[in-house]
Amino acid sequence: MFAYLRVRSTPEAIAFYTQAFGAIERFRLVEPSCRVGDAELQLGPSVLMLSDGLPEHGIDAPEPGAVTYSSVHPHVDDADAAAARAVAAGAEMLMPPTDHFYGERGCRLGDPLGHTWLIGHQIEAVTPAEMQRRYTALFSSE
């Protein structure tokens, strides 16, 4: 399975994702009009696919600051360092790195292209039963 993001400027996205997350461009397909119809980035062990918005085909890209209903969630070796690198490249810190009940340290970032990223790394192995216990306790204490 690949994540496929629609962006307002694929070249801008490639430059940002390369700088912020260390992505490596595999290829891009460019129309004569210079719009990018498809690009692939290697992001660790995963492939991230991108294209410019193509509204005449019903393919729209989010505007920065608009509400989006999905996010990309890469696991990294060090969420704090990855977050710092992304912020230095232009990402907005939406939630700083925090230890979570499900055994992960992670943060939430907004990228300049309008997408949300959840960057995390495992800090402990947590069984589903223990995760549910902690989740219940979290909402019971409110």
CATH of the domain at 22: 3.30.720.120
pLDDT tens track for 6-49: 999 999 999 999 999 999 999 999 999 999 999 999 998 899 99
pLDDT at 141 over 70: no
pLDDT tens track for 61-114: 888 777 777 889 999 999 999 999 999 999 999 999 999 999 999 999 999 999
Q: Does any domain span residue 64?
A: no
CA distances 76 to 36, 82, 96, 121, 123, Å, are 28, 7, 15, 5, 11
114: part of which helix (H) or strand (E)? Answer: none
pTM of the model: 0.85
Predicted pLDDT at 142: 61
Predicted pLDDT at 64: 74
Q: Are residues 47 and 73 in the same domain?
A: no
**Strand, helix or coil for residue 71:** strand
Q: Are residues 76 and 49 in the same domain?
A: no
- The first and second tokens of residue 74, run together, are 């890469």
Query: Is 14:39 a contact under the CB 8 Å cutoff?
Result: yes
**Tally of domains within the chain:** 2
Q: Does any domain span residue 8?
A: yes
Predicted pLDDT at 59: 86
Predicted pLDDT at 66: 77
CA distance 1 to 74: 13
Q: Domain span at residue 117?
A: 69-142
Predicted pLDDT at 57: 86
Beta strands in 1-142 (DSSP E): 3-7, 24-30, 36-43, 46-52, 71-72, 92-99, 104-110, 116-122
pLDDT at 2 over 80: yes
